[in-house]
Chain A
Amino acid sequence: MTANDKREILVFAEQRKGKVHPVTIELLGKAIELSNRLPLMVSSVLMGRDVQGEAQELIYYGAKKVYLFEDSSLYSYDPILYKTNIVALTKEINPYAILFGSTHIGRSLAPRVAASLRTGLTADCTNLSIDEDGAFIQIRPAFTGNILAHIKTKTSPSMSTVRYKVMQRAKRDEKREGTIVKMTPLPNDPSWEVIDERVIEGINLPDAEVIVSGGRGLKRAEDFKMLEELAKLLGGVVGSSRPLVDEGWIGKEHQVGFSGNTVKPKLYIACGISGSPQHLAGMRDSEMIVAINSDPSAPIFRYADMGIIGDIYEIIPKMIEKLKRR
Chain B
Amino acid sequence: MNIIVLTKVVPDIERVKFDAARGVVDRSSAPQEINPFDLNAIEEAVRLKERHGGRITAISMGPSDVEQTLKDTIARGVDEAILLTDKKFAGSDTLATSYALSQAIKSTGDFDIVICGEKTVDGDTGQVGGEVSEWLGISYLPYTSKLDYEDGKFKARVELENIIYEVEASPPLLVSVTKDINTPRLPGFREKLNARKAQVKKMDAEGIEADEGRLGFNGSPTWVYKIEVPEEGQRDCKIYKDPESGLKEIMIMLESRDLI
Bound Cα distance from A148 to B158, whole angstroms: 31
**Cβ-based interface call for A116 (8 A):** yes
Q: Are A202 and B162 within 8 A (Cβ)?
A: yes
Measured between C-beta atoms, what is the minimum distance from B147 to chain A in Å?
13
Q: A104-B142, A120-B222, A322-B251 are in contact. Are A111 and B131 (CB under 8 A)?
A: yes
Residues of A within 8 A of B130 (CB): 79, 107-112, 115
Q: Is the CB of A302 within 8 A of B235?
A: yes
Q: How far is the CA of A304 from the CA of B246 in the complex (A)?
A: 13
Task: Please tell me if A124 contacts chain B, counting CB pairs below 8 Å.
Answer: yes
Which chain B positions have C-beta within 8 A of A149? 224, 226-228
Q: Does A6 contact B (CB under 8 A)?
A: no
Q: Which residues of B contact A200 (CB under 8 A)?
A: 162-164
- Asked, given contacts A112-B130, A115-B135, A280-B233, whether A309 binds B222 with beta carbons under 8 Å apart, the answer is no
User: Are B250 and A120 in contact (CB-based, < 8 A)?
Assistant: no
Q: Which of A103, A115, A139, A143 lies at the interface centre, i.e. has the most chain B CB atoms within 10 A of its CB?
A: A115
* C-alpha spacing A144/B119, complex, angstroms: 13
- Which stretch in B74-82, B92-100, B107-115, B194-202 binds the other chain? B92-100
Q: Are A197 and B163 in contact (CB under 8 A)?
A: yes
The number of residues on chain A lying at the interface, defined by a beta carbon within 8 Å of a beta carbon of chain B, is 86
Decide if B224 touches A150 in the complex (CB within 8 Å): yes
- Chain A residues within an 8 Å CB radius of B240: 306-309
Q: Is the CB of B134 within 8 A of A112?
A: yes
Q: Do residues B94 and A267 form an inter-chain contact, with CB atoms below 8 A?
A: no
Query: Which residues does chain A contribute within 8 Å of B93, judged by CB atoms?
Result: 120
Known: A80-B140, A119-B221, A192-B167. A234 touches B260 (CB 8 A): yes
Q: Is the CB of A121 within 8 A of B166?
A: no
Q: Which of A76-127 contact B (CB under 8 A)?
A: 76-77, 79-80, 83, 103-105, 107-112, 114-116, 118-124
B94's partner among A121, A195, A322 (CB-CB below 8 A) is A121
B126 touching A152 by the CB < 8 A rule?
Answer: no
A201 to B163, CA, bound (A): 9
Which one of B131, B164, B221, B247 contacts A198 once the chains associate, using CB atoms below 8 Å? B164
Q: Is A184 an interface residue (CB 8 A)?
A: no
Chain B residue nearest to A103 in the complex (CB): B161
Interface string of A132-151 (1 = CB under 8 A from B): 00000011011110111111
- B189: interface (CB < 8 Å): no
**Looking at the complex, which one of B165, B232, B250 makes contact with A306 (CB distance below 8 Å)?**
B250
- A246's closest neighbor in chain B, by CB? B179
What distance in Å separates the Cβ of B105 from its nearest Cβ neighbour in chain A? Answer: 14
B238 and A151 contacting across the interface, CB-CB below 8 Å: no
B124 at interface, CB cutoff 8 A: yes
Sampled A-B contacts (9; CB under 8 Å)? A79-B142, A104-B142, A120-B221, A142-B124, A150-B225, A151-B225, A197-B163, A234-B260, A310-B243
